[in-house]
Structure 1
Amino acid sequence: MNTVDAEAANPATKMRRIRDRLRDGAASNGIWASLQQVCNLLFVGLLSVILARTLPVEDFGVYSYAMSLAGLGIAIGLAGLYGLAIKRYSESREPGTVTCSIIIVREATVAFYFVALLGFMGSTATSVDEFLLVALAAVAVFGRVLDAPELWYQARLNARKPALAKIIVGAVFFAAKCTALWLGSGVTVIVALYVAELFAGSVAVLVCYRRDVTSGRAFAVPGARDVVDLWKRSSPLLISGIAQQVNLRASLIVVQILVGATGVAMFAVSQRVMDVCLALPMAYMTATFPALLEARRKDRDSGGGSAYRDRLQRSFDGALWAGIAIAVLLYVLADVVVVTAFGAEYEDAAALLRIQALAVPFMFMSSVLSKWIIAEGNLWISVGRHWLGAVATVALCLLLVPKWGAVGAAWASTASYVMSVYLFTFLSRSTWPVAVQMSRAWVAPVSRILARAGSQRVES
């Protein structure tokens, strides 16, 4: 071993490099953003378990339905402006106009959604109480999308402050919801606290931002042209985001309409576990995406293409087989997971979880595919694949749910993932390269064993 290798292998050197990476703004940014996501997932998951064990099954189903429709509006309101807004903040010396432009575009988007939702509920709600509960939950969308300055912090590689603010707010309101349940409050109070939480979280970020802006104004009225231009540029990702949310939530909506609140409760339990699985590949790609971009840049500068392709292949390999491992565990332990967490009343949800577990490998590969789309700048590919998934979900739900109930919705959800993540990539020449790489990922262990055996024969 030469001197350089010995130095690299030295434990002190390794620890120093790790500390250097942690001090780096990008690494810290990713850590704090991931921590916020994990804490939010923890609060939501624990509350779901508590509610499932506290409320009657039908009430839990109505609550899950209201939260799902509110989440749909939030996701649509946030879609399309993340990366674009960060770029605007990075390029602008006047953060106030960027902030107000983002807020205007977001609030206008969720206002359209809110009106459409009221119309939808007016024609599908089974009771006045259900209509009012969904309407109350949907008010939260106006509060959640106010946190535009969070993207200003992201652009400055300083996600720590908004992340801490939101984690603290989340913890306070989680305690408030648990206290309300302990005092005997019903679903309406819990939903009202949810609305208050989202407004409080955004206000906390706005206050921090107002104090931290030292260059330019924190808030400034933007020109109409700036707002329209921002909306136009974000429209491909907005359209894609709408399709993605339809793909994720259409099954629950169809089950509510055709089966009722009890079916929604069972599907919601299975979906809550799947939400955890969705968060895992996001964290995985948060860690690997910078390396993927760096490999692409180096290949472009050198005129080659192997480093980027190899890095992408390793990402697909790792994502797929991590997903397979989790899918196997979920399939085997579905009954234990559901009954232990949510109670024996929800044991029927275990069958749904086994079906949806089959989609986990494709969920993991989807996280890599979405980053490849961003790296290549092919945003309309994202639109196409998400709308394919949305159409497939709705069509299969309408076909299967009337006969098989929530089980049919689980099969529809799983099939749509296979279509929108894997089969879709075979439909266009521009996506064939990743179709091949995803296909190779299925045989990655065999390929590595053969490659290792070949290298050993050469050495001998």
Structure 2
Amino acid sequence: MTTNIKNSLLLIFEKVILLGLSFINSVLLARLAGPTMFGEFSYIVSFAGIFAPLAIMGLNNIITKYVVKHPKNSHYYITSALKIRFAGAAFAILLAALIGFTFSEHTKTTELIVMLVAMQGFSLFYVIEYYYLAKKQVSLLLSLRLSLLLITNTLKLIAILNSASLTLLILLYGLEYVFIGSSYFFTYWFQRQHKNIKKQPTKHTILALSKKGKWLLMSGIAATIYLKIDQIMIAQLVNSKEVAYYAAAAKLSEFWYVFPILIANVFTAQLSQYRFKNNNQYDQLLRQLISLMICAAIALSIATWFIASPLISLLYGAQYQQSAAILSVHIFASIFIFQRAILSKWLIIEKLYKFSLLSSLLGALSNIILNFILIPQYGGIGAAWATVISYMVASYGFLFFNSKTKQYAKLLHQAVLNSPTILKASVKQLILRRS
């Protein structure tokens, strides 16, 4: 447990620094460039983001699981995953170009979207991070990744302060994927991790691994759609300025989403081990993590609701004041997003991949329908309500559709109802371990 907590703290410390820099850049871009350009930038990033799951192919957590279970064959699974993800990244570029140049009237915008999709394709190498996570060697990549992101964020800051063009800003945004992906590959290679191979991947095994990841791939696509579709639909149904107001609020709300994912990633290996060795410890750890996530999200949501208006004025200025009402609604989606990080791990460990897809499809479908209904009349606030409701459907509502997922619903209810007791016991356990 102490190793997991240490890894969580290291990753959170890194993310605080990097998210802080990214957030500063976003605020400066919004203030200095104005709502129109900030809206266009947000639209391009959101549109390109829809294709990001194709460079992942649903294999991140599956690879972690196999590396934990079969450590001697780690490179076998890493190599297989890289080949699959390369094919997915190439397909993403072709698909983005086909959709963009066929349906968009703005050639320049489409070119920037395709360029960004190509650069974010380097995230195919991010699977190597899951190898180090499974080996509990998180700090190995931290210094390298932190250095590279400090460089790219500094370059972005300089570009924003010097009124850089939209093209340069998108290029610098994409360079993060290129630098980090390349550094992961070369770190893995030069440490001669690839020499620790006992068998060579075959066409049959690659196809088999692809099949295991297909449900998570489709789930990832659906989840990305309901994460990114809001800004795309606002641009189509209203205008770029409304995208800027929504993006300013969403940036503040989504700033926190990475933390539950980081914590869940660090505990994935331990949850997998408990699942096969001790069900009582497995359920206990799940309840502890769920309690932590939900309590943190509720506290965050209430605090943000009270300070939304002065916070927007302070950070973005008077021209973004209508973002405050959007933020007051959007922040409550964090309650469902935070616990979803644990739910996603549970679905993978229990091999309930189809339900991961079902939940994401329901979330995407409800979000699109609600956006069509609410955005034309209410703009960004309507999109915020659509986000909260769709996240509730995807992270909670679908649990009652099947007896298997009702097991998690039971754990969830136990964790919520007994949160004070569970958290108190967790703190006491941590103190005893350290003493």
* TM-score bracket relative to the smaller structure: 0.7 to 0.9
Structure 1 residue matching 2:255: 3-state secondary structure: helix
1:104-253 matches, within 5 Å, as: 104-213=83-192, 216=195, 222-253=201-232
Residue of 47, 50, 60 corresponding to 2:25: 47
Residue of 276, 284, 303 corresponding to 2:255: 276
Shift, 1:319, TM fit: 2.5
Higher relative contact order (CA 8 A, sep 6+): 2
Gaps of at least 5 residues in structure 2 are 423-435
CA separation of 1:317 and 1:144: change in aligned 2, threshold 3 A: closer
What CA deviation, in whole Å up to 9, does each residue of 1:48-79 have, x standing for no partner? 11211221211111111111223332244225
Letter in 2 for 1:108: A
Residue of 324, 348, 352 corresponding to 1:374: 348
Q: Is 1:423 paired with 2:402?
A: no
Q: Is 1:331 paired with 2:310?
A: no
Letter in 2 for 1:247: Y
Shift, 1:411, TM fit: 1.1
CA separation of 1:313 and 1:31: change in aligned 2, threshold 3 A: closer
Deviates more, 1:39-48 or 1:88-97: 88-97
1:433: which partner in 2? 407
Q: Distance in 1 between matches of 2:98 and 2:89?
A: 14
What CA deviation, in whole Å up to 9, does each residue of 1:68-99 have, x standing for no partner? 22333224422511122234556375766544
Q: Is 1:82 paired with 2:60?
A: yes
Deviates more, 1:315-324 or 1:96-105: 96-105
Residue of 35, 57, 67 corresponding to 2:45: 67
2:359: which partner in 1? 385
What CA deviation, in whole Å up to 9, does each residue of 1:366-411 have, x standing for no partner? 2232233233232222111111111111111112222222222111
Corresponding pairs, count: 420
Residue of 311, 320, 329 corresponding to 1:346: 320
Q: Distance in 2 between matches of 1:279 and 1:139?
A: 23
Letter in 1 for 2:95: A
Normalized against structure 2, the TM-score is what? 0.86
Shift, 1:308, TM fit: 4.2
Shift, 1:281, TM fit: 2.4
* Aligned residues: CA RMSD: 2.9
What CA deviation, in whole Å up to 9, does each residue of 1:212-254 have, x standing for no partner? 1167279x98432232222112112111111111121111211
Contact 1:169 1:200 in 2 (8 A): yes
Deviates more, 1:391-400 or 1:316-325: 316-325
Q: Distance in 2 between matches of 1:445 and 1:337?
A: 30
CA separation of 1:256 and 1:308: change in aligned 2, threshold 3 A: same
Work out which of the two has the higher radius of gyration on C-alpha atoms and give 1 or 2: 1
Letter in 2 for 1:117: A
CA separation of 1:362 and 1:87: change in aligned 2, threshold 3 A: closer
Deviates more, 1:123-132 or 1:356-365: 123-132
2:426: which partner in 1? none
Letter in 2 for 1:336: P
Contact 1:124 1:257 in 2 (8 A): no
Residue of 31, 34, 54 corresponding to 1:56: 34
Shift, 1:440, TM fit: 4.8
Shift, 1:147, TM fit: 4.0
Contact 2:57 2:88 in 1 (8 A): no
Q: Distance in 2 between matches of 1:96 and 1:298?
A: 25
Structure 2 residue matching 1:171: 3-state secondary structure: helix
Letter in 1 for 2:391: Y
Letter in 1 for 2:22: V
Structure 2 residue matching 1:277: 3-state secondary structure: coil
Contact 2:18 2:146 in 1 (8 A): yes
Q: Is 1:406 paired with 2:380?
A: yes
Shift, 1:165, TM fit: 1.4
Shift, 1:415, TM fit: 0.6
Q: Distance in 2 between matches of 1:36 and 1:373?
A: 28
Letter in 1 for 2:181: S
Q: Distance in 1 between matches of 2:287 and 2:134?
A: 29
What CA deviation, in whole Å up to 9, does each residue of 1:419-441 have, x standing for no partner? 11121111211122332343455
Q: Distance in 2 between matches of 1:133 and 1:444?
A: 49
What CA deviation, in whole Å up to 9, does each residue of 1:251-282 have, x standing for no partner? 12111211121111111112212222312322
Structure 1 residue matching 2:125: 3-state secondary structure: coil
Contact 2:188 2:194 in 1 (8 A): no
1:357: which partner in 2? 331
CA separation of 1:221 and 1:32: change in aligned 2, threshold 3 A: farther
Q: Distance in 2 between matches of 1:190 and 1:397?
A: 28
Q: Distance in 2 between matches of 1:92 and 1:358?
A: 40
Contact 1:292 1:308 in 2 (8 A): yes
Letter in 1 for 2:34: P
Q: Distance in 1 between matches of 2:420 and 2:63?
A: 43
Q: Distance in 2 between matches of 1:162 and 1:245?
A: 26
CA separation of 1:113 and 1:438: change in aligned 2, threshold 3 A: same
Q: Distance in 2 between matches of 1:275 and 1:401?
A: 20
